[in-house]
Amino acid sequence: YSAVYCKLNVIETENTLKAYLIILLIWNALAILLIYLISFWILGSVLDIKFEIKPYLLSSLTAISAVSIRSIFLIKLRLQKKAMQFFIVSVAGKAGVILISLSFVMYYSATAEGRLLGAVIAELLCTGFVYLYVFRKGKFFWPKIDFRKVFSFIWPLLLASIVYYPIMAMDQIVLERYASKTELGLYSIGLGFAGYLHTFNFSVYQTIEPDIIKFRAQGDNASLRRQVYYLVLIAVATTICFCLVSKYLIDFMSHGKFTEAYKIANILSVSFFFVLLFSVGSTLLTTAGKSKSAFLVNLIGLFSIVIFTMLLKEFNSVGVAIARVLTYAALSVAAFMLLKKAGTSVQNYTGS
């Protein structure tokens, strides 16, 4: 949607947004049904679950579906650089989920089911508001879309997502299976503190992401390089500053109990730097219409299983943190190598 937005006029972008929201509504309904049936079969046939999982599974899938629909609207606000509206919608969504969930826990059922039901209702209300706002006025003309081209573009990204989720959690999966609770605890603390740094840097990236996409879609490589260089400079500077103060920060926040976690936090902060680079590379590949390349990059990441296992045996949690750095560094290099190979071409994958 971001790549299309940069090439169309105001009326065309509005019609495209409405079409996307209608398609997402149908797509997500089918996806929820399919994933629910497959997941329920796996949980019932493969795993020995001792409690009723169906309501939690269905509630979670519905909430995720609502969030994914609302995210398209938030992307539009970012592309239009309407920061205040973006802030209001984002905060209202989060606050609504918290307040309604608490209300259901307090007055309906003080259980996980009550909490999830409240969250689902809040997410559906927010998504309903998005539909009312987008379709509130003006005529809607269905844009010309070649669905064959669309699905040809989408299927590698679906596979890439399936592959990427295990990569994201590989460090904690390996630690939970093979490491001691102490090692897992220190790693979790280090990951949490490094995650705060990533939240800041990723927020900076989201601020300039619309410009990065626009420059890529329009072939303005000089401006694109300048934006990426600025982002890298900020990320390097903040990572260095974090490494210098992390020991004292963790010591102060944990009252001296978990100060040793700073070593892992520093290593993980470097891994988050490469996570940011990988995000930029993936975005640029997708904008250029190279969805198969994006899938290939994620496929390379599966080799991280070997790296994580080997380094854990040699260096415990520190080894896993180093493996995470190596994994995302490899993914970043692969993404930008394929991006360089793609050159300045931008495929018309939208069917418009």
| pLDDT tens-digit readout, 313-337 | 666 778 888 888 988 898 899 888 8
Task: Give dist(CA 27, CA 185) in Å, integer.
Answer: 40
Q: What is the reported pLDDT for 352?
A: 42
| pLDDT tens-digit readout, 50-66 | 556 667 777 778 888 88
Task: Locate 288 and state its tokens.
Answer: 């250029």
Give helix 83-107 / helix 112-134 axis angle, nearest 10°.
150
The yes-or-no verdict on residue 306 having pLDDT over 80 is no
pLDDT mean over 196-202: 91
Query: What average pLDDT is seen over the chain?
Result: 81
Where residue 246 falls among pLDDT bands split at 50, 70, 90? very high
Instruction: Give the percent of the chain with pLDDT over 90.
Output: 14
The yes-or-no verdict on residue 49 having pLDDT over 60 is no
Residue pair 313/319 in contact (Cβ under 8 Å)? The answer is: yes
* Least confident stretch, 38-42, 165-169, 213-217, 230-234: 38-42
| pLDDT tens-digit readout, 247-283 | 999 988 888 888 888 999 999 999 999 999 999 998 8
pLDDT mean over 126-136: 84
The yes-or-no verdict on residue 236 having pLDDT over 90 is yes
pLDDT mean over 100-125: 82
The yes-or-no verdict on residue 47 having pLDDT over 60 is no
Q: What is the reported pLDDT for 138?
A: 67
pTM: 0.75
Instruction: Give the percent of the chain with pLDDT over 70.
Output: 86
Report the 10 Å Cβ neighbour count for 184.
Answer: 18
Q: What is the reported pLDDT for 166?
A: 73
- The three-state (H, E, C) secondary structure of the chain, written as one string: CHHHHCCCCHHHHHHHHHHHHHHHHHHHHHHHHHHHHHHHHHHHHCCCCCCCCHHHHHHHHHHHHHHHHHHHHHHHHHHCCCHHHHHHHHHHHHHHHHHHHHHHHHHCCCCHHHHHHHHHHHHHHHHHHHHHHHCCCCCCCCCCCCHHHHHHHHHHHHHHHHHHHHHHHHHHHHHHHHCCHHHHHHHHHHHHHHHHHHHHHHHHHHHHHHHHHHHHHHCCHHHHHHHHHHHHHHHHHHHHHHHHHHHHHHHHHCCCCCCCHHHHHHHHHHHHHHHHHHHHHHHHHHHCCCHHHHHHHHHHHHHHHHHHHHHHHHHHHHHHHHHHHHHHHHHHHHHHHHHHHHCCCCCCCCCC
Q: What is the reported pLDDT for 346?
A: 46
Higher pLDDT, residue 47 or 206: 206
Q: What is the reported pLDDT for 272?
A: 93
Where residue 348 falls among pLDDT bands split at 50, 70, 90? very low
